[in-house]
A and B are shown apart, each in its own frame.
Chain A
Amino acid sequence: MLRLLFEKTGRAVWISHLDLMRLFQRAFKRADLPLTHTQGFNPRPSVSIAMPLSVGVESKCELLDFELDGVCPGTDEICTRLNEKLVEGVRVLKVYAQGEKIKNLAYLQCTLQLVYDTAVPDDAICAIENLFAAPELLVVKKTKNGPVEQNIIPLIKSAKIARADAQTVTIDAMICCQNPSLNPMQMVAAIQRHIPDCAPNEVKCIRQEIYSINNEVFR
C-alpha cells in the first residue's frame, strides 16, 4: 500500500469527496499508473482517502492510499507524473512507499478564518476565547437518529484566537479527528448559537496538519 500527501486549495475545494476519488482514479489512468482493482462484481480502482473533507474546506494535509498494478515507479516519479495530470488546486506534495496505520491518526490542526463584512465586533476575541475556555459547550449534531446535543470541549485540545486584520479573526485549533472526531465547522456553529453577535459573515476553514496519538506528524 502506497500513500500520498496532497493539498486541496482554490477552486478545487468545491469538489466533493466522491468526485475527488473519481478525479484521482482518472489522474492515475492519465499518468499511466494503473491502479489495482477491487475484486467482485463491479471491480473498482483501489484508492481510499483517510478523512473525507467537507465541500468548501481547504486542506494542506490530505492522505490518499493506493496500490499500483505491475511495476511500480519510484515515489518521486509517481509524484511528478500525477501532478502533471491533476487539476488546478489538487497537488501531490509527497508519495510514501508506506504509511502509518490510519487507526493511529488522532489530531487535526486547523485554522478557521472568520470574516466580518463591516468590522470585527469589539469584544469578539474575548467572547470567543471565553466560549472555548468554558467546561462545556453544546452544539447540535445531526445524526442518523435526528439531532443530538454534543459537548465539544473535550474534543478541542487547544484553540488560539487572534485578530488577523480589521475584518478577520482567526482561530488556530488542535482538535480530535478520530474516535470521536470533531468537524471544525462545529466551532463556528457554537459561536453562531451562543454568541450570535459574533457570528461572522463568511468562514474559511483550512486543515493544516495531522498528528498521531503520540503527537507526531502523521504520515
Chain B
Amino acid sequence: MKNTIRRILPSVQKPARYTGGEYNEIIKDPEQVRVRVAYCFPDTYEIGMSNLGMRILYGVMNEMDGVWCERVFAPWGDMEEAMREHNVPLWALESQSPVKDFDMIAFTIGYEMCYTNILNMLRLSDVPLHSKDRKGLKNIVFAGGVCAFNPEPLADFIDFFSLGEGEEITVEILSLYDRAKAQDWTKEQFLLEVSKIDGVYVPSFYEPVYNADGTISQIKRSNDAPAVVRKRIVEDLDSAYFPTKMIVPSTEIVHDRANLEVFRGCIRGCRFCQAGFSCRPVRRKSPEVLYKQAIETLEDSGHNEMTLSSLSTSDYRGLRDLTDALIPYCEQTKVNLSVPSLRADNFSKELMERLQSLRKSSLTFAPEAGTQRLRDVINKNLTEEEILSSCANAFSGGWNSVKLYFMLGLPTETDEDVLGIAELVYKVINTWKDCAVNKKRGLRVHVATAYFVPKPHTPFQWEAQISPEEYLRRCKLLKDHFYSKSIVYNYHTPAISRLEAVTARGDRRLGPVIENAMLNGARLDGWDEYFDESAWLKAFETCNLDPVFYTTRGFGEDEILPWDVIDVGVTKQFLLRERRQAYAEKVTPDCRHGCSGCGANALLQEVKCDA
C-alpha cells in the first residue's frame, strides 16, 4: 500500500472501504495489460458495491484479454478533507494507482443527485472536468446507467455515453479503444469511430439551439452522427455474462448479500416509473440457469442471504419453479432467501408463508396514491381490497407493523386524493383491530410520502412538478388528518426532489450549474448530512438559469425534449397515448393481459418479448 494513502487511513471513518483487497478482487499485472479502466461509481463504496450493474460490468471488462478494470468510489467527507490536506489524488482500489493514470474513466450513473460527485471525483483525480479540455486518448471519460437516458446535463463533461445494458457494448467500446491506442489515434478519430457503435452517444457531435423562451428549436448534428441513438439490450439473458464469482466486501455494505436478477423489463406500466418503461422489453431468464447461478454464487461467496431481484419479482413466470428448487437448498445451508417487491396475489401469499419459515420479512405496500381514481391515473393496478386483504392475512399471521409508501403531487391530484391516503391508513388500522392475534404489542403503520418527480421516457415526462410550497401544504393537510398514535408519518424534504426534477429533465444549460454548485461545495447531495441547497441556488443565480423552467413550467407536447435524441425502445406516440389515458382516468392492462404496443419489442431480433 502506498505510504501516502496508509497515512491518512487512521484518521477516517471505516477505512476498509478505501483499501480494496476483498475476496475475488481482480488483480492483474499492469505490464501485461493494454487498457486500464478506472470504473467509478459516483457514490460511497457501500452504495456502489451494492449495485449489480457495476458488478456485472466489472466482470465483463476483466474477462477481456489485455484489459484491467479497477473500482473507484466517492470518498466520504472526512476522507476528501484528508486527501486535500495531504495532496493525495483519488485512487483506484485494486492497484491504488491514481485515477489520472488510467486510459479510460467510466462512470455508472443511476441517480441524478450524484452529478456533483462525478465532477468532484474528476476534480479529486486532477483530471480536467470539461471534455474539451482533455486532449488525447488518455483519460477518455464515458458513462452509462439509467441517467444516461437524459445525458444532456452532463454533456460538457462526458466524452461519450453508452446507452442501455452494457454486457455487449462495453466490450465493443473497449476493443475499439485497444485498437485506437495501439495505432495512436487522436481523440477526435476515436470519438468518430466510437460514435458508429450502436448505442453510443457522443454529445460533442450535437448542438442544441434554443428559442428565446428557453425551449429547444433544433439540434444541429455534425460528423454524420445519428439523429437518434437507440439503447442496447441483451436479448438472451440465459447466455449473457453473469458474475458468480462476485467480490465479497470485507466491510458491511448496504445490500450485503448475494443478488440474483431473475428477469429484465416490466409488464406493469406504472405511468410515473422510469425503469418500468426504459428497461423494456421483458426478457426472462430460465429457472434452471438461475438455480445454477444461485448455487455457484452462494458457494463461492459464502453469503448467508440472497435476494431475488427485478422490477417486479412476482411477475417472474418461473418464480414457482425457482423457489421450489431454492428454498430446500437455502434451508439446508441456512441461507436467508428474500423476495422483495412481491405483489398481493395468491401465490405470493403462499410463497411468503414458505419464506417465513426461514425468517420474517417486513410488510411493505406502495399504493402511491390514496384514491382508486388517482391510482387509475398513474396505472398502479393495486386495489384497496388487495391491500386490505393482504394486511388482514399478515395481521392474523402475527405481523403488527406495515409500511405504506405514497407520492404527493401526482398529475390531477386534488385534496380529496391526499385525504384518501389518510382514509386508507385508517382502514388498515381497522383491519388490524379486526384481525390481530395479539393486540398487546400494538400496531405501527409507517407512512411515507415522496414528492413526485416527472422523469424522461415516461408518460408523465411532460408534466409540471407542483411547487415545494404546495407539496408542503399537502403534507401538512395529510398530517393534520392522522389522529392515531399507531401512525408514524415521514415525508421527504422538497429541496432534493425539486433539484432531482431539474436535473432529470435538464438540458445542456445545466452543465455550468452543476459545475458551479460543485465548486460551491455541493457533493454527496443524496445524503441529508451533506446536501446543501444554498450551493445549488447560488449556482442557478450565477448561471442565470431559473429552476422553475424545468419544474413547475411543464413541457409542451410539441416541444423538442432534451432527451429526444435518445431512444429507449418505447415510442413517443405510446407515451402520449398513455398520457391521454391517464387524464381519462383509464388504466392500461399489464402487458400479460394484452400488448399495448409500446414499441420496445422492436429492440428484439432473436427472441420475442416475454411479457
Q: What residues make up the interface of A, taking CB atoms closer than 8 Å to B?
A: 10-12, 14-16, 18-19, 22-23, 25-30, 32, 34, 37, 43, 45, 55-56, 85-89, 201-202
Residues of B within 8 Å of A85, CB to CB, are 23, 302
Chain B: number of interface residues, binned into ranges: 20 to 34
Inter-chain contact B302/A14, CB cutoff 8 Å: no
Smallest CB-CB A-B distances: 5 pairs = A26-B302, A29-B302, A11-B21, A30-B302, A14-B15
Partner of B23, one of A18, A34, A87, A201: A87
Which residues in A have their C-beta under 8 angstroms from that of B334?
A: 34, 37, 43
Residue of B nearest to A202 (CB): B7
Contact B302 A25 (CB under 8 A): yes
A114 to chain B, nearest CB (A): 14
Q: Which residue of B lies closest to A90 (CB)?
A: B250
* Contact flags B11-50 to A (C-beta < 8 A → 1, else 0): 0001110111111000000000000000000000000000
The answer to whether A19 and B251 touch across the interface, beta carbons within 8 angstroms, is yes
Q: Which of B1, B250, B252, B333 has the most CB of A within 10 A?
A: B250
Known contacts A11-B1, A14-B15, A55-B15; is-contact A87 B302 (Cβ 8 Å):
no
Contact indicator B1/A10 (Cβ below 8 Å): yes
Q: A16–B23 Cα gap in the complex (Å)?
A: 16
| Chain A residues positioned under 8 Å from B22 (CB to CB) | 87
**Within the assembled complex, what's the spacing in Å between the Cα atoms of A23 and B252?**
10
Min CB–CB distance A22 → chain B (angstroms): 7
Give the residue name and chain of the B residue nearest to A43 (CB).
B334
Beyond A87-B22, A87-B23, 16 additional pairs, beta carbon < 8 A:
A14-B18, A15-B16, A22-B252, A26-B23, A26-B248, A26-B301, A26-B302, A26-B304, A30-B299, A30-B301, A32-B299, A34-B334, A43-B334, A85-B302, A88-B21, A201-B7
Q: Which residues of B contact A29 (CB under 8 A)?
A: 302-304, 333
The answer to whether A56 and B10 have CB atoms under 8 Å apart is: yes
A85 to B248, CA, bound (A): 11
CB of B261 within 8 Å of the partner chain: no
Minimum C-beta distance from A192 to chain B (A): 14
Is B300 in contact with chain A by the CB < 8 A criterion? yes
List chain A residues, Cβ under 8 A from B19: 11, 14
A22 to B253, CA, bound (A): 12
**Contact of B302 with A19 in the complex, beta carbons under 8 Å:** no
Give Cα A10–Cα B27 distance, bound, in whole angstroms. Answer: 16
State the Cβ distance, A90 to closest chain B Cβ, in Å. Answer: 9
In the assembled complex, how far is the CB of residue B45 from the closest CB belonging to chain A, in whole angstroms? 12
Which residues in A have their C-beta under 8 angstroms from that of B472?
A: none
B344 at interface by CB-CB < 8 Å: no
Least CB distance from B403 to A in Å reads 21
With A11-B19, A55-B15, A87-B23 already in contact, the answer to whether A25 and B9 are too (CB < 8 A) is no
Residues of chain A contacted by B251 (CB below 8 angstroms): 15-16, 19
CA A46 – CA B300 in complex, angstroms?
Answer: 21
* A residues near B302, Cβ cutoff 8 Å: 25-30, 85
Query: Which A residue sits closest to B93, measured CB to CB?
Result: A11
- Cross-chain contact B7 with A14 (CB below 8 angstroms): no
Do A87 and B301 have beta carbons less than 8 Å apart? no
Contact call B9/A56, Cβ cutoff below 8 A: yes
> Closest approach, in angstroms, between the C-beta of B116 and any C-beta of chain A?
27
The answer to whether B252 and A10 touch across the interface, beta carbons within 8 angstroms, is no
Q: Is the CB of A19 within 8 A of B20?
A: no
- Contact partner of A19 (CB less than 8 A), chosen from B18, B252, B299, B300, is B252
**In the assembly, what is the distance between CA of A90 and CA of B244, in Å?**
23
Chain A positions within 8 Å of B9 at CB level: 14, 56
- CA–CA, A88 and B18, complex, Å: 15
Determine whether the beta carbon of B250 is less than 8 Å from that of A12: yes
How far apart are B295's CB and chain A's nearest CB, in angstroms?
13
* Chain B nearest Cβ from A175, distance in angstroms: 20
| Contact A19–B10 (Cβ < 8 Å) | no
Q: Which residues of A contact B14 (CB under 8 A)?
A: 16
Closest to B21 in A: A11
How close is A21's CB to chain B, nearest CB, in angstroms? 11
Partner of A56, one of B15, B299, B333: B15
Give every chain B residue within 8 A of A19 (Cβ-Cβ).
16, 250-252
How distant is B193 from chain A, measured CB to nearest CB, in Å?
Answer: 39
Q: Please name all residues of chain B whose beta carbon is closer than 8 Å to the beta carbon of A43 when the two chains form the complex.
A: 334
What's the Cα separation between A202 and B10 when bound, in Å?
A: 10
**A144 CB, min distance to chain B CBs, angstroms:** 21
Question: Closest CB of chain A to B253's CB: distance in Å?
Answer: 10
Could you tell me the distance in whole angstroms from the C-beta of B228 to the nearest C-beta in chain A? 46
25 A-B contacts (beta carbon < 8 Å): A10-B21, A11-B1, A11-B20, A14-B15, A14-B16, A15-B16, A15-B251, A16-B14, A16-B251, A19-B252, A25-B302, A25-B304, A26-B301, A26-B302, A28-B302, A29-B303, A30-B299, A30-B302, A32-B299, A45-B304, A55-B16, A56-B10, A85-B302, A88-B21, A202-B7
Nearest CB of B to A80, in Å: 17
With both chains docked as a complex, state the minimum distance between the C-beta of B338 and any C-beta of chain A, in angstroms. Answer: 15
Give Cα distance in the complex from A87 to B301, angstroms: 12
Interface membership of chain B positions 295-309, coded 1 if the CB is closer than 8 angstroms to chain A and 0 otherwise: 000011111100000
Q: How far is the CA of A15 from the CA of B14 in the complex (A)?
A: 8
